[in-house]
Structure 1
Amino acid sequence: MKAIRRFTVRPVLPEPLQPLSDLARNLRWSWHTETRELFEAVDPAGWRAADGDPVRLLGAVSAARLAELAGDRPFLDRLTAAADDLDTYLRGERWYQARDGQGAELPAAVGYFSPEFGVTAALPQYSGGLGILAGDHLKAASDLGVPLIGVGLLYRHGYFRQSLSRDGWQQEQYPVLDPNELPLTLVREEDGTPAQVVLALPGRRALRACIWQAHVGRVPLLMLDSDVEENGPGERDVTDRLYGGGSEHRLLQEMLLGIGGVRAVRTYCRLTGQPAPEVFHTNEGHAGFLGLERIRELAGTGLGFDAALEVVRAGTVFTTHTPVPAGIDRFDRELIARHFGDDGELPGVDAERILGLGLETYPGGRPNLFNMAVMGLRLAQRANGVSALHGAVSREMFAGLWPGFDPEEVPITSVTNGVHAPTWVAPEVARLGAAGTSGAAGSASAGSGSGSSRWDAGSEIPDGDLWDVRHVLREQLVTEVRKRLHASWRLRGAQAAELGWIDGVLDPDVLTIGFARRVPSYKRLTLMLSDRDRLRALLLHPERPVQIVVAGKAHPADDGGKRLVQELVRFADDPRVRHRIVFLPDYGMAMAQKLYPGCDVWLNNPLRPLEACGTSGMKAALNGCLNLSVLDGWWDEWFEPDFGWAIPTADASTSDEHRRDELEANALYELIEDRVAPRFYDRGAGGLPDRWIAMVRRTLGTLGPKLLADRMVREYVERLYAPAAHAHRLLDTGTATELAAWKDRTRALWPRVSVDHAEAVAATAVGSTAELGSTLSLRVRIGLGELDPDDVEVQAVAGRVGSDDAIVDARSFPLKPADGPDIEGRWMYEGPLALDRTGPYGYTVRVLPAHPLLATSADLGLVALPTEATGEGAGVLMR
């Protein structure tokens, strides 16, 4: 029988054990080994049954056991030490406070909005890399003392749980999550009633949401939940599941995340007295509506739309995570129009102005669609991709928003992702480094809050110790795989009596390759199956066998992805190879924390350049796992032969996707056959794989520090948050109004700006050639119409030229007005151009808007360039 109602009975802890509740409710335990070990000591069997979730553990432990622990002096001493350590962590000065004390202009607080957060498996509110990255961002911010406020949604069904049918087809289940059984606290008003945010919907309906708070170390994470009694059935289901439902359902989720999220932050700051955010960080376009709510707030103070937009842009950071247009949320313009304006949300804000922020009104765009990433970019003065290559891809992808500018000048920078070492580094690896003179491999730099240890401790670890730990981790993975595989086969309908073969699955002495990620087609789950006979030969090699552990979820609506999963599963079910290759269903954080450390090689073979970053390989590397990857995402940026192997790609050699996959699969097989496996099994005089261990050591000591989320968050603070806070502070009401008026005037008058004539003279020029090291003297006549020289910047842009006269490796040089306007109102600009490179060389001239408060010269997307008739031509040949 099923219960007609569910509720939670909370345990009553004896007074001496009260600190356990605080420790369980702060998710710092998810990355703090000593606290986890303390909870395990409460009830080891219960800890395993609770899957390492202290809230569930405390809800199930017996009263007798609690009474016993209340009188256990050694346990109480450990409890006191853990509680004191947490208190010190929460209250102590961190890196951010030290930087602030040194005079750095840092924001008082930052609002960080994301549709998903992967903090711990005990709070299943994530689907993949975006959410795990967001969770690691919060943890690193906590370690560094960055005053972040996380904002997301609480999905009552989370993301789906994955299982397999007998024939290997993906099955989805959506478990019901009770917030009272999660490490969450309901935010309440001063009178004790639950705090709520309210959104207006068409037809005079309302969408209400309560606010749950998770404590992620020092960082509050606010999660909005629409499952409240005041809502109608449709509104209650808005936060039912992550990435579920149709277009309107997704729109309501994103309105609640962005608009409701800002209101939740205001409520939280009012109730706690915490500083309000000066900077708002939009992690992907899903939360982009937060900018509209902030415009509405400012409009309520009497600021006009344009001036309010300038203030919002100055204090907003937008991070894009997708390298493919299909990965961006788009909505019909009619759907957006129906939900905004006087009959919907944000009354008083012109619905046409809202539409204008998101419509694809650029060449090649679809102007009937509202693009969330386009809105995110238009509402943010600072934007970034998540690796150097992804930044370049993003500049190409969104270049239409800045017509007239080359892609490399599009104002999208990059901050390469990092991962939170204390979460992802196995305790055995951390303890191994701790045996060195200075600390633990796997800990972040001193003062960050992640530990006081050095990454270079790996250089002091004896080869034998390092190899022993790698073997232990491989053994742990083998045990975990067999347990999960047995559970999976039972769900597929197998009887225990037919599963004896699982006891022989995998071997802790065999080279182990891991592959785990979401299963869109571009990640190519089944590339390894391109030549099945060759793969079998690799798996069953008599002297150098390979074993592969695979995991990943296909989106419930993606039948193509499900077919890829089924294809892989059916291959892995073959009795000839099933002891060497396995597919583990229900990939998530708990599985990942065993999988990454236990693998020797991490495989990543996406279609280049469609992997924005690929942080799973980072987590593996922090545990001494070597990467075998296409040069995409972060691997393109930091690959060295000491860290692993680069899979050659055929992206430029063929347009036939089957031929391309065949070429790249063959390259993958060759690498494993000829380089990876031989190096793993090549033993030196001491019986150890000396060259392999040297690569592991270099991966830990040299690559490791680059991969840390601490490094990533520091970059966000110094390169994006601090400049955004500074820009935001400069825009008071008068300044913002003046800047908005200047932009309007500049846009209106820009069509009359022209480059009328350009000429260059080189003292040592002979015909169309000039000497290296000489200087060209440029003279350019510019028409400014009704604009003034203070409104523009005139530049010469020079560099090498190709056969099509396109300038590459361009550099810009400012030109200055020589005197006043001539009788026709034209201005003469002059300046030197140093010829510092040999070969075909060319220049052009352009005029850009200029204002002290512009973040970049491309801010307005306006540029005036020479026409075909301008001047004497751009080419100068150097010798």
Structure 2
Amino acid sequence: MKAIRRFTVRPVLPEPLHPLSDLARNLRWSWHAETRDLFQAVDPACWAACGDPVRLLGDVPAGRLAELAGDDRFLRRLTAAADDLRDYLSGDRWYQRRSRQDALPAAVAYFSPEFGITAALPQYSGGLGILAGDHLKAASDLGVPLIGVGLLYRHGYFRQSLSRDGWQQEHYPVLDPHELPLVRIEEPDGTPAQVMLALPGARFLRARIWLAQVGRVPLLLLDSDVEENDLSERGVTDRLYGGGSEHRLLQEMLLGIGGVRAVRTYCRLTGHPEPEVFHTNEGHAGFLGLERINELSAGGGPSGLDFDAALEAVRAGTVFTTHTPVPAGIDRFDRDLVARHFGPAAELPRIDVGRILRLGRETYPGGEAHLFNMAVMGLRLAQRANGVSLLHGEVSREMFAGLWPGFDAEEVPITSVTNGVHAPTWVAPEVLRLEAGRQADAADAADAADDTGEGAERWDAAAGLADPDLWQLRRTLRERLVSEVRERLRASWRQRGADTAELGWIDSVLDPDVLTIGFARRVPSYKRLTLMLRDRERLTELLLHPERPVQIVVAGKAHPADDSGKRLIQELVRFADDPRVRHRIVFLPDYGMAMAQKLYPGCDIWLNNPLRPLEACGTSGMKAALNGCLNLSVLDGWWDEWFEPDFGWAIPTADAAALDVDRRDDIEAAALYDLLEQRVTPRFYERGQQGLPDRWIEMVRRTLTRLGPKVLAGRMVREYVERLYAPAAGAHRALDPDAARELAAWKARLHRAWPGVSVDHVETSAALPGAELGTALALRVRVGLGDLGPDDVVVQAVSGRVDSEDRITGASVVPLKPVAGPDTEGRWSYEGPLALDRTGPFGYTVRVLPAHRLLASPAEPGLVAVPSEELVEGAGVLMR
């Protein structure tokens, strides 16, 4: 019979075991090996089945708990683990020591639509969420006072299985917050703390606030499934990336606007410092800036700022990270839909709806006037923005250059911070111990390394490992993966309808002595899951080679609405079902964190073959590398930045734009097969004098010692602190109400006066082009400033090599100084040297940019004045 109501009965722990509850509710256990070992000792079978301390404590029989309460050895371990957590939460770490020297923010609020912390809290779909989870964990290890903000999805993303013919099927289990490692935030009277949004039609969207404690970092998750809501509002936080446009809009309003209100509530109830910096992880949370403007605007706070001044104050303390390398990956809503949800009859009634809509307007060439672009709004509401690898930074500057007309793409104010991964989460404990050069707790070693602020010490220790030890470790991890694959494959075939009697062949699937390739990620078309199938006979020969075989483990989920992605999975599954090769290639359904943590250490090669440059970063290869797995990848994302032949192989790409899709894929697949046949497999199987693959082992060692320190999340978070959070906090403090009004008024005056700014005359001290290397020309410029003065602008000479279209490359920028003016026509004269420091085709131009002490970048206002095409300087050279 089916129950008519579901609720959770909490276990009553004996007094000596009470610390288990605190250990279970702090998600540090997910990356702290000793704490996980402690929970495993409670009930090994139950732990193996669930891997979740909260569920474990609810399932363990009372008799077993009573037994443990009298077990002195267990209680000593429990006391040690509880003391270790207490020390971890209270001690000074890198951030606290750094704060004594630098003016770092009191707190940072980090907003993301998904967080991959642990499989026990399934609130993630892919790389964006996993990155957000690693960001929080590394911040905790470093002591960064972060507050995470997200949504609590009652069905998570989805669970994946396969039909008999290999078609992806989705399942949405119901998640009970009371059965998750969460605590409900409550008001002093014990009632649940809530945030509320106004909806059109005099309706309201209410959400409770749940707390997931991620080490030192609180993660606030908003849940709309509360009884006070109508049925449609209760479903707003039902599924991650589910529903139609309005459903997604409400999710993003709740995340951004409701998230700020949740942060304020949490700080009020706990005394946590208020954030000085707000970090928007992708555009989904962009509405947070509107709520902060609302707080500062007239009637909404003690400062009483108007919209423009409040916008400047908000921008100063906001960081925006884009993860999207293509416009199609950005959330865009119909402007009319957005307009209905704001204004007097809905949310943020004090803010003019037209001002809101202009923030998300695509004003660049090719932009669609009827759409509201969340990434565009995110960029306009943030003074600092970044991509997630060097290459992605370049792609982002090109993609969003239209928001800064008149500037070359390289000058667009979007920098890059290359992603990193949290080693204690993703690295096999045996690897961490070896890298530390001692038999110690893996997570403690990782904590110590991250806490130093450097992280390289323990990775360098791997250089001294003996070849036999390193090779035996790699085989042990491969063997463990083989067992995991067989278990999961058998379960998958049973789900597909196979009988146990049909599955004897699974016992011979994969071989712990065969070169193992991993390919696991989301399955959009640009990641090209099936590129390896372009020449099936050639792939089959690789799989079945009598002397140098390979085996491939594949996993990944397609979005439920992406039938093209599902067809790619089906194509791969049908190939892997072929009895000729099914012992050498497998597809494992339901890819998630638990599977990934077994997959990365057990693979020898991590394969990545996206369409370049559509992979913003691609952190799965980083996690593999930290386990001694070599990368075989297209030069995209982070691999483009840090590839060296010592770390793996680069798959050549067909960059000719004229190639059709099939021809391009054929070329790149052939290059992949060539690498495997001619370079990868020979190196794995060739043996030296000791019977070991000496050259392969050396590549593994160099990957661990030289690449390892670069890809750590601790390095990434330190970069965010030093390059983005600290400057944003400084700008936030500088933009007090008076300064915000000053800057807003200056920008308004600037935009009114800018049509009167011009470059009227440019001349040099010598005739061109007969110039010699090492000489310096005296440059004299007359500019019209209209109603502006020299304090409002900077005049620059920009010079460098020029290409065939007279575009300056590798530009040098030199400010010119005002020497006279204004003349009778209101023009000012500027002078300065023009150094001829490069041979070959050389060119220069002059430009006028806005200048103000509170601007983070002269490009910020998006205004520039350059010479007209008709302007000819005295020597007769056309200025461009």
TM-score bucket (shorter structure):
over 0.9
Q: Cα distance, 1:136 vs. partner? A: 0.2
Q: 1:656 to 1:752 in 2, by over 3 A?
A: same
Partner secondary structure for residue 232 of structure 2:
helix
Q: 1:873 to 1:525 in 2, by over 3 A?
A: farther
Which whole-Å CA distance do the structure 1 matches of 2:452 and 2:172 have between them? 36
Question: Contact 1:444–1:710 at 8 Å: present in 2 too?
Answer: no
Question: Contact 1:443–1:453 at 8 Å: present in 2 too?
Answer: no
Partner secondary structure for residue 517 of structure 2:
strand
Which whole-Å CA distance do the structure 2 matches of 1:189 and 1:437 have between them? 46
Q: 1:79 to 1:439 in 2, by over 3 A?
A: closer
Q: 1:449 to 1:555 in 2, by over 3 A?
A: farther
| Match 1:527 to one of 531, 546, 567 | 531
Q: Cα distance, 1:210 vs. partner? A: 0.2
Match in the other structure for 1:486: 490
Task: Name the amino acid aligned to 1:63.
Answer: A
Match in the other structure for 1:815: 816
Which whole-Å CA distance do the structure 1 matches of 2:435 and 2:742 have between them? 57
Match in the other structure for 1:366: 368
Match in the other structure for 1:264: 262
Q: Within 5 Å, which residues of 2 pair with 1:393-408?
A: 393-408=395-410
Task: Name the amino acid aligned to 1:219.
Answer: V
Q: 1:672 to 1:873 in 2, by over 3 A?
A: farther
Match in the other structure for 1:218: 216
Partner secondary structure for residue 446 of structure 2:
coil
Partner secondary structure for residue 565 of structure 1:
helix
Q: Cα distance, 1:438 vs. partner? A: 11
Match in the other structure for 1:448: 451
Question: Contact 1:505–1:579 at 8 Å: present in 2 too?
Answer: yes
Q: Which moved more, 1:452-461 or 1:504-513?
A: 452-461
Task: Name the amino acid aligned to 1:73.
Answer: D
| Match 1:550 to one of 535, 554, 572 | 554
1:699 aligns with 2:703: yes
Which whole-Å CA distance do the structure 2 matches of 1:436 and 1:480 have between them? 27
Q: Which moved more, 1:434-443 or 1:565-574?
A: 434-443
Q: Cα distance, 1:516 vs. partner? A: 0.3
Match in the other structure for 1:294: 292
Task: Name the amino acid aligned to 2:735.
Answer: L
Which whole-Å CA distance do the structure 1 matches of 2:797 and 2:877 have between them? 14
Which whole-Å CA distance do the structure 2 matches of 1:576 and 1:751 have between them? 72
Once the two structures are superposed, what CA deviation does each residue of 1:521-557 show, in whole Å capped at 9, x if it has no partner?
A: 0000000000000000000000000000000000000
Task: Name the amino acid aligned to 2:634.
Answer: V
Which whole-Å CA distance do the structure 1 matches of 2:226 and 2:518 have between them? 42
Once the two structures are superposed, what CA deviation does each residue of 1:115-161 show, in whole Å capped at 9, x if it has no partner?
A: 00000000000000000000000000000000000000000000100
Quick one: percent identity of the two aligned structures? 80
Question: Contact 2:320–2:386 at 8 Å: present in 1 too?
Answer: yes
Which whole-Å CA distance do the structure 2 matches of 1:626 and 1:743 have between them? 52
Partner secondary structure for residue 666 of structure 1:
helix
Question: Contact 1:433–1:439 at 8 Å: present in 2 too?
Answer: no
| Match 1:177 to one of 175, 178, 185 | 175
Match in the other structure for 1:247: 245
Q: Cα distance, 1:873 vs. partner? A: 8.6
| Match 2:108 to one of 107, 110, 115 | 110
Question: Contact 1:755–1:865 at 8 Å: present in 2 too?
Answer: yes
Q: Cα distance, 1:428 vs. partner? A: 1.2
TM-score by length of 2: 0.98
Partner secondary structure for residue 813 of structure 2:
strand
| Match 2:730 to one of 697, 721, 726 | 726
Which whole-Å CA distance do the structure 1 matches of 2:874 and 2:401 have between them? 26
Question: Contact 2:605–2:629 at 8 Å: present in 1 too?
Answer: yes
Which whole-Å CA distance do the structure 1 matches of 2:877 and 2:427 have between them? 56
Question: Contact 1:844–1:874 at 8 Å: present in 2 too?
Answer: no
| Match 1:409 to one of 408, 411, 422 | 411
Q: Which moved more, 1:634-643 or 1:822-831?
A: 822-831
Match in the other structure for 2:25: 25
Q: Within 5 Å, which residues of 2 pair with 1:308-327?
A: 308-327=310-329
Partner secondary structure for residue 198 of structure 2:
strand
Task: Name the amino acid aligned to 1:512.
Answer: T
Which whole-Å CA distance do the structure 2 matches of 1:699 and 1:769 have between them? 51
Once the two structures are superposed, what CA deviation does each residue of 1:556-590 show, in whole Å capped at 9, x if it has no partner?
A: 00000000000000000000000000000000000
Once the two structures are superposed, what CA deviation does each residue of 1:193-247 show, in whole Å capped at 9, x if it has no partner?
A: 0000000000000000000000000000000000000000000000000000000
Which whole-Å CA distance do the structure 2 matches of 1:2 and 1:705 have between them? 53
Q: Within 5 Å, which residues of 2 pair with 1:420-459?
A: 420-435=422-437, 443=446, 446=449, 448=451, 454-459=458-463
Which whole-Å CA distance do the structure 1 matches of 2:97 and 2:870 have between them? 58
Q: Cα distance, 1:447 vs. partner? A: 5.5
Partner secondary structure for residue 303 of structure 1:
coil
Which whole-Å CA distance do the structure 2 matches of 1:873 and 1:154 have between them? 67
Match in the other structure for 2:348: 346
Task: Name the amino acid aligned to 1:45.
Answer: A
Which whole-Å CA distance do the structure 2 matches of 1:724 and 1:277 have between them? 11
Task: Name the amino acid aligned to 2:81.
Answer: A
Q: Within 5 Å, which residues of 2 pair with 1:760-779?
A: 760-762=764-766, 767-779=768-780
Once the two structures are superposed, what CA deviation does each residue of 1:750-788 show, in whole Å capped at 9, x if it has no partner?
A: 0110001111124xx6x5121111001101110000100
Match in the other structure for 2:574: 570
Match in the other structure for 2:87: 88
1:709 aligns with 2:713: yes
Match in the other structure for 1:76: 75
Partner secondary structure for residue 446 of structure 1:
helix
Q: 1:874 to 1:84 in 2, by over 3 A?
A: farther
Task: Name the amino acid aligned to 2:386.
Answer: N
1:788 aligns with 2:778: no
Q: 1:731 to 1:581 in 2, by over 3 A?
A: same
1:847 aligns with 2:848: yes
Partner secondary structure for residue 224 of structure 1:
strand
Q: 1:169 to 1:28 in 2, by over 3 A?
A: same
Match in the other structure for 2:587: 583
Question: Contact 1:336–1:370 at 8 Å: present in 2 too?
Answer: yes
Which whole-Å CA distance do the structure 2 matches of 1:365 and 1:753 have between them? 27
1:804 aligns with 2:808: no
Question: Contact 1:604–1:629 at 8 Å: present in 2 too?
Answer: yes
Question: Contact 2:34–2:441 at 8 Å: present in 1 too?
Answer: no
Question: Contact 1:654–1:660 at 8 Å: present in 2 too?
Answer: no
Q: Within 5 Å, which residues of 2 pair with 1:728-747?
A: 728-747=732-751
Which whole-Å CA distance do the structure 1 matches of 2:438 and 2:599 have between them? 25
Q: Cα distance, 1:460 vs. partner? A: 1.1
TM-score by length of 1: 0.98
Question: Contact 2:796–2:814 at 8 Å: present in 1 too?
Answer: yes
Task: Name the amino acid aligned to 2:154.
Answer: R
Which whole-Å CA distance do the structure 1 matches of 2:876 and 2:378 have between them? 39
Question: Contact 1:283–1:320 at 8 Å: present in 2 too?
Answer: yes
| Match 1:392 to one of 391, 394, 403 | 394
Unmatched 5+ residue regions in structure 2? Answer: none
Question: Contact 2:436–2:462 at 8 Å: present in 1 too?
Answer: no
Once the two structures are superposed, what CA deviation does each residue of 1:807-847 show, in whole Å capped at 9, x if it has no partner?
A: 11111110011122111111111000111111000000000
Match in the other structure for 2:473: 469
Task: Name the amino acid aligned to 2:127.
Answer: G
Aligned residues: 872
Q: 1:688 to 1:875 in 2, by over 3 A?
A: farther
Q: 1:439 to 1:65 in 2, by over 3 A?
A: closer
Which whole-Å CA distance do the structure 1 matches of 2:119 and 2:636 have between them? 28
Task: Name the amino acid aligned to 2:307.
Answer: F
Once the two structures are superposed, what CA deviation does each residue of 1:779-807 show, in whole Å capped at 9, x if it has no partner?
A: 11100001001000000111100111111
Partner secondary structure for residue 818 of structure 1:
strand
Match in the other structure for 2:60: 61
Question: Contact 1:432–1:440 at 8 Å: present in 2 too?
Answer: no
Q: What is the CA RMSD across the aligned residues, in angstroms?
A: 1.5
Question: Contact 2:103–2:726 at 8 Å: present in 1 too?
Answer: yes
Question: Contact 2:436–2:458 at 8 Å: present in 1 too?
Answer: no
Question: Contact 1:445–1:454 at 8 Å: present in 2 too?
Answer: no
